[in-house]
Structure formats: C-alpha cells, structure tokens
Amino acid sequence: MERKLVVGNWKMNGDRVRNSALLDQLVGAMPAAVDCAVCVPFPYLPQVGESLVGSGVALGAQDVSEFPEGAYTGDVSVAMLADWGVRFVIVGHSERRAMHGESDLTVARKAAAALDGGLVPIACFGETLVERESGVTELVLLRQLDALAANLSPEALQGIVLAYEPVWAIGTGRAATAEQVQTVLALVRRWLADHVPAPERVRILYGGSVKPETAGGLFSLPDADGGLIGGASLDAQSFLEICQAAGSAAQGN
C-alpha cells in the first residue's frame, strides 16, 4: 500500500472540553500524505464528526453490534454509526475480548456486519505474553484470522483492515521489536494470499505502545501499512508526529 493509515484509538478517554482542545490542534495540521482516523467513544461521535468535516481525518468508533437492531440493551448498530458519518470501526480489540468475553466468532460477525453496512472494520488480533512465551503465537494468530475467513467471502475480506496488537505491548510502553512485528506481518500477508484476491491491497496495521520515536521504524517495515495508536493519540503533538512518521515511511517505500 502506498499510503499508510494511522488510526487513533481514544479508548474510554476524553470529555467535550478536552476533545475540542485536542481536535483544534489536529485539524488543519494533519499531513496530507497519510490517511488518518480517530476512533472515539460513542457519545462523542457527533462532536468529533462535526469538528472533522473537511479535515481529511476520518471518523471511527471502537465497537459495534453484530446485530442490525432490536433488544440489545447498550449496543450500537452499524446503521447508527453510519448515521453519524462513521467510516471505520474497531472490532475485536483485546480489551473487549478479555473484558467482555468476545469470541473469535463474535468478532468475525461484527466485521461482517460492518462490511455489509458499508463501514471499514479494523479487526484486531494478537497474542498474550503467556501465549508468546509458550511458543503458540502463530497458532493463536492464525486461529483468530481463520475465524474472519470462515465468516467472510474473499471479496468481503478484501475490504477489511487488520491490526496486529500483541496484548503484552498494549499500554505497557513495551512495543514489540521491529523484527517481532515484521515476522507476524509477513505471516499475515502470506495468510492473506490464501484468502483474498489482492493480498497486497489489504492494510495491516501494528498497534501497541507506538510512540513518535518508534513509529518511523515500525511503519517502514516491508509489510506495515500503518498503526493503531492508543495513549499517544490523546496527545496532539505525539499523534501528529506519528502521522508524519507514517508519511515519511510511505515516501521511503
């Protein structure tokens, strides 16, 4: 992919005042050479969506229901997100898998619902530290990816964004090394070759403690198409620097 994609995942952070201060610094300052999005908490979709109009930064959400409508208290449908101009939606973040018991099948169904409704799912997958240290990383990642392929046609799967987020690297300040990341991304690219018509056109992001200092190296990896940024996306300067690093990495490719 020539253009990198950098997505901020605000997680459960922010309020109207802080959002507005952050967006004031981001809008107008984003590098044009990079595709950017911010995935914000549901209540702030209208506020953030309005601020982003004409900015080139896309609006995203952090989760979505697999069901179209009905008696699902607390859930939000694809159509509701689309109604607010949402373009991207994260599915299967490890925090939701761990804290809300989301299975590989649920994540795949959410991805399918998003694609069906015209949104781009950013499907997260990744191993825990225990899994890495017991040598089952590849097995775990392929299990998570295979669930997507089992529930999506090759044509639908072509429209997904994948995000490799090793659980042990999330929020820990301990990003995976470039070598660890490239090993996984190459595995995923090979997996894609067996499942979609144009494997090189599916974006694979890396997420987990990406900081301005590490972003350039990670985004320059042969199979890295960008990043999913947690903590650093809440600081305008850091997020801008990470987006700029993605722009430079794209030019270097």
Q: Is residue 244 a contact partner of residue 215, using CB atoms and an 8 Å limit?
A: no
Using the rule CB under 6 A, which residue among 108, 170, 188, 243 binds ligand 13P?
A: 170
* Residue 118 binding ligand 13P, by CB under 6 A: no
Q: Residue 101 is encoded by which pair of tokens?
A: 């018991």
What secondary structure does DSSP assign to 52-110, as a single string?
A: HTTTSEEEEES---SSSSSS-TT---HHHHHHTT--EEEES-HHHHHHS---HHHHHHH
Is residue 93 part of the annotated active site? The answer reads yes
Q: Which is nearer to ligand 13P, 9 or 182 (CB)?
A: 9
Using the rule CB under 6 A, which residue among 209, 214, 238, 244 binds ligand 13P?
A: 209
Interface stretch with ligand 13P, choices 51-59, 70-78, 213-221, 230-238 (CB under 6 A): 230-238
**Partner residues linked to 88 by β-bridges:** 60, 120
* Residue 228 binding ligand 13P, by CB under 6 A: yes
Q: Which residue has the tokens 């090759």?
A: 154
Interface stretch with ligand 13P, choices 164-172, 185-193, 212-220, 245-253 (CB under 6 A): 164-172
Number of residues lying near ligand 13P (CB under 6 A): 14
* Residue 208 binding ligand 13P, by CB under 6 A: yes
Using the rule CB under 6 A, which residue among 35, 165, 223, 225 binds ligand 13P?
A: 165
| 13 Cβ contact partners less than 8 Å away, ≥ 6 residues apart | 41, 234
Q: Whole-angstrom Cα distance, residue 123 to residue 144?
A: 10
Is residue 165 part of the annotated active site? The answer reads yes
What is the footprint of ligand 13P within residues 6-25 (CB under 6 A)? 9
Q: Residue 157 is encoded by which pair of tokens?
A: 């799967």
* Residue 207 binding ligand 13P, by CB under 6 A: yes
Q: Which residues are catalytic?
A: 93, 165
